[in-house]
Amino acid sequence: MEANGMFDVDGLPLYVVTTHLGLGQRERRAQLRMLAGMMDDESAERLILLGDMNEWIPGALQPLHSRMAPSPRLRTFPARRPLLALDRLWVRPRGSLRDVRVHWSRAAAVASDHLPLVASIIV
């Protein structure tokens, strides 16, 4: 599995994949197919996939939800008045994601047009 990073956590590998999908629907579909293919590689037993999915169409993220536990839909965009759940987080193994919330602060709303997600993960 190629990933943005592989970390050693208690002697076991933890893969972290970050992404920022494109704005065009056709481009996102191709990118989602590629990510879903990466998630089929079960050699990465412990994995975190996160990023700006730029996806608001219902069901479009199903290829990822079916391979990992569904990602909570938390509104992160636009930062000053969040309406859309564009930023997502998936964790493997299923059940490892204990809590996820949106961090809101004045500094966060100024730093980016998206609010950050904060998660508690047991790996």
Q: Tell me the per-residue pLDDT of 64-93, one tens digit each, with 9 for 90 and over.
A: 988 888 889 999 999 999 999 999 999 999
Q: What is the rounded CA–CA span in Å between residue 90 and residue 103?
A: 17
> Which CATH number is 32's domain given?
3.60.10.10
Average pLDDT, the chain: 91
Which residues are within 8 A (CB) of 51 and not within 5 positions of it... i.e. 6 or more apart? Answer: 18, 19, 20, 21, 87, 88
Predicted TM-score (pTM) of the model is 0.88
**Domain tally, the chain:** 1
Domain housing 98: 5-121
Please tell me the distance from the alpha carbon of residue 104 to that of residue 97, in angstroms, as a whole number.
Answer: 20
Neighbours of 123 (CB within 10 A): 15
Q: What are phi and psi of 4, to 5 degrees?
A: -65, -30
Q: What is the mean pLDDT of residues 88-105?
A: 93
Burial 34-63 (b: 16+ CB within 10 A, else e): ebbebbeeeebebbbbbbbbbbeeeebbee
Match 């996806």 to its residue by tokens: 55
Reference 50, options 4, 82, 18; nearest CA is 18
pLDDT band at 2 (very low <50, low <70, confident <90, very high): very low
